[in-house]
Amino acid sequence: MTGTFMRPAIRALAITFAVNLAFGAVSRAQGTNPNLVPAGEQQQDQSQQLKVRQLNQAPAPALPRVDPAEEAAYTAFYGSNPQDPDTRIRIGEAFVQKYPVSRYAESVYAALTQAYSTKQDTKNFYTNADKALALNPNDASVLVIVGWMIPHDFKPESADALKNLDKAEHYEKRAMEIIPTLTKPVNITDAQFAQSESGLLSAAHSGLGLVYFRRQDPEDSVKELQQSVRLAARPDPTDLFVLGLGLQSLNRYSEAADAFSRCGQVPSSLQDRCKQSADAAKKAGK
């Protein structure tokens, strides 16, 4: 079941966390379930939202002169293509190894967290997320992605399984408190900023909805996933599938059939299963 959730959801999350990266600490130089690389239109969205993150950096107070080589290395890192996670990881890891106390370190760790999520390398994903949050506990993008990944990567046999779900719940709820306080950069439109906020909130509700699903709490799971789907520009088929399962368990068969049908319209590894589930839910509701 974990693999079923991870593959389609990681693809959708790649877009969302380009949105997330719009809100973290980012470049002061000129120039950051549930397969992996978004295509065409999704890549354009990600590139646009990465620019939002870069523009969101508030003017910093005067700081000691930074080594030009460090500035150049950081510029090279953020100039790398988010759709090429191998290159981004290579450059980012080299940066934090050479400049471990850089003022840019948290921003690099946040972006590495996204790159490792794209690679489905959970060990390095969590390692870099922990380092980013140690430097900035209020990085909404990292809080959301970790809270999202934990229930998608859920291993019920693990001794820490329930503890990890508690952590995911805490991270998503904390992120939901932070997101409304984010400041709009002056160089983007109100519509762009609203879209970015909605994408981030959608991912937070998605993660929380799956936490409740893993706890076998369908009522709360359904409430969160409905909000995720409502806020998403392109609803994640995994969210729609799990929403359908939750509604079905509550005997809300007509709504379940609708969720499964919407999932079945989205190309993913869940598409056939969603179509079959929609038919079953319709029959059960008669």
pLDDT in tens, 117-147: 999 999 999 999 999 999 999 999 999 999 9
User: pLDDT tier at 13 (50, 70, 90 boundaries)?
Assistant: low
Domains and CATH numbers, the chain: 2-56+67-215 (1.25.40), 226-286 (no CATH)
Mean of per-residue pLDDT scores for the chain: 83
Q: Which residue has the higher pLDDT, 37 or 268?
A: 268
pLDDT in tens, 154-163: 999 999 999 9
Once rounded to an integer, what is the mean pLDDT over residues 90-96? 97
Tell me the whole-structure pTM to 2 decimals. Answer: 0.81
pLDDT exceeds 60 at position 33: no
pLDDT in tens, 219-245: 999 999 999 999 998 999 999 999 999
Share of the chain above pLDDT 90, in %: 71
Query: Nearest 5°: CA angle at 148, between 144 and 149?
Result: 120
